[in-house]
């Protein structure tokens, strides 16, 4: 009898581990977030075992900042903490000429030392599973290369950036191909030039050497949003014998999870008229100088529009170390704007703010994570790109999708954005006929994108297709 029970137990274990998914994110907030959201979809919607792999610090960061995810979904994920060598965690430099978060370079470099422990984990999971599927950030390609040595493993890159950016930067530019846009748009297109320090360019080039081992690509986008560029990407991928799936937007399907400690900005939003509030946040990698903070404060105040402003410094490599800088605001600012504006100095639940009926605009740095959340919630954008792929995202939102306004031209990125420029764009977006038309377009696009993620929608079909492929 005992032997029969053991056999049944063994069969159960084999069934449970038929296909195991290993997620390997890059240690930057928006990347950690997107891969955690996707991990929850794989685990909760498809009942597959999922391992989320990174340093203990970054795994903890992903968990504490989980945006609108249900704790019971996160609890299903197997977080695998890898000991990472100590790395420096300097504070961001608010006066640097470039907005690129150079303070994160030591943590980025430390993650190149994770190859051996990841290989060890993959071998272990491989011995217990019919197939191991590694879903990794393109910037972790070097670390997962040992997937090739396992008879039952395959890897897929999850791209945390827009397809438009990828096609322009990784297909057109290196191959001397024209970008397929009308002449008037090409004139407005921000110049595709690296604004990152040489050290990060070297790190990217180093990782990209190993990306061809992948079996295919996943995109946090879909055909409704980027159909043209997905088709072009698909043609290119087929010449390399790679598959692709556009499975975005990756985010919780239901926003009915209310945390035990409801955030004060959600309570504040409950008391505002529909679509009346501008949400102001520049992500986790942007730091502002004292001068820039003062101009932004004055611009918001003078616009006389309602706002929620998340005023935080950029992340360090280890977000749990060091004192955060406290920004100074103009004398009496918070008293004067009481009832009109709210300044939030801690981590804010962005997705829930964007989903709130009182939110009518988003002043954003245009990281793809923020773009996709804003699009999904039908909220138009005041686009203020800071670094990396953000200028192209801002162009895509304002010129192609036409669901936003530029705060400043990328060519003028080294100039101070004045209070009057900020006031003008806020008024135009929040209190003008042009702003109303942009908002209407954003709401219509948001509805179409959300529909694509429902049963039978383009995005949901692609996700089902990917799951069918990896569990074949």
The catalytic site residues sit at: 31, 137
Question: Residue 427: phi, psi to the nearest 5?
Answer: -65, -40
* Both structure tokens of 184: 């008037």
Q: How far apart are CA 173 and CA 189, in angstroms?
A: 13
Q: Torsion angle of alpha carbons 88, 91, 94, 99, nearest 10°?
A: 40
Nearest CA to 23 among 105, 80, 70? 80
DSSP letter for 400, please: I
SS3 75: coil
Nearest CA to 334 among 322, 323, 342? 342
CB 386 within 8 A of CB 94: no
* Both structure tokens of 88: 């420096």
List Cβ neighbours of 155 (8 Å cut-off, separation of 6 or more). Answer: 133, 134, 135, 136, 144, 147, 213, 214, 215
Q: How far apart are CA 166 and CA 236, in angstroms?
A: 12
* Both structure tokens of 25: 């994110």
Q: Match 């611009």 to its residue by tokens.
A: 299
List helix spans (H) across 278-407: 290-303, 333-336, 350-355, 368-376, 390-395
CB 248 within 8 A of CB 330: no
Distance of CA 59 to the CA centre of its chain: 16
List Cβ neighbours of 426 (8 Å cut-off, separation of 6 or more). Answer: 278, 299, 300, 303, 305, 307, 361, 363, 382
Q: Tell me the HSE value of 71 on the side-chain side, using a 13 A CA sphere.
A: 4
Query: Which residues in 58-145 belong to E strands, given as ranges?
Result: 78-82, 131-137
């Amino acid at each position: 009898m005992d032997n029969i029970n053991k056999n049944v137990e063994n069969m159960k274990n084999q069934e449970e581990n038929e296909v195991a998914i290993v997620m390997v994110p890059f240690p930057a907030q928006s990347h950690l977030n997107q891969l955690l959201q996707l991990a929850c979809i794989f685990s909760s919607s498809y009942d597959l075992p999922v391992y989320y792999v990174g340093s203990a610090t970054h795994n903890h960061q992903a968990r504490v900042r989980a945006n609108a995810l249900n704790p019971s979904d996160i609890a299903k994920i197997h977080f695998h903490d890898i000991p990472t060598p100590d790395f420096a965690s300097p504070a961001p430099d608010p006066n640097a000429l470039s907005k690129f978060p150079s303070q994160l370079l030591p943590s980025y470099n430390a993650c190149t030392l994770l190859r051996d422990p990841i290989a060890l984990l993959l071998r272990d999971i491989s011995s217990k599973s019919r197939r191991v599927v590694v879903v990794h950030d393109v910037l972790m390609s070097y670390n997962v290369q040992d997937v090739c040595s396992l008879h039952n493993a395959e890897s897929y890159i999850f791209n945390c950036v827009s397809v438009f950016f990828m096609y322009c930067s990784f297909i057109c530019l290196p191959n001397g191909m024209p970008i397929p846009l009308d002449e008037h748009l090409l004139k407005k297109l921000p110049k595709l030039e690296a604004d990152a320090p040489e050290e990060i360019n070297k790190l990217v080039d180093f990782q990209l050497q190993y990306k061809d081992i992948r079996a295919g690509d996943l995109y946090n986008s879909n055909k409704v949003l980027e159909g043209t560029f997905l088709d072009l990407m698909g043609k290119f991928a087929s010449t390399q014998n790679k598959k692709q799936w556009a499975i975005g937007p990756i985010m919780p399907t239901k926003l009915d999870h209310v945390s035990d400690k409801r955030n004060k900005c959600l309570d504040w939003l409950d008391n505002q008229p529909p679509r009346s509030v501008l949400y102001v946040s520049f992500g986790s990698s942007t730091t502002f100088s004292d001068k820039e903070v003062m101009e932004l404060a004055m611009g918001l105040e003078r616009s006389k529009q309602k706002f929620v402003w998340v005023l935080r410094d950029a992340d360090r490599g280890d977000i749990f170390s060091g004192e955060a800088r406290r920004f100074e605001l103009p004398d009496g600012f918070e008293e004067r704007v009481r009832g009109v504006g709210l300044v939030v100095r801690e981590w804010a639940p962005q997705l829930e703010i964007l989903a709130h009926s009182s939110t009518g605009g988003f002043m954003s740095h245009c990281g793809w994570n923020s773009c996709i959340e804003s699009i999904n919630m039908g909220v138009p954008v005041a686009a203020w790109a800071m670094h990396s792929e953000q200028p192209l995202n801002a162009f895509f939102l304002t010129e192609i999708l036409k669901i936003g306004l530029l705060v400043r031209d990328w060519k003028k990125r080294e100039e101070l954005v004045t209070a009057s420029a900020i006031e003008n764009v806020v008024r135009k977006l929040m209190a003008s006929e042009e702003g109303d038309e942009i908002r209407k377009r954003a709401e219509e696009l948001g509805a179409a994108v959300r529909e694509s993620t429902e049963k039978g929608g383009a995005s949901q079909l692609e996700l089902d297709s990917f799951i069918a492929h990896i569990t074949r």
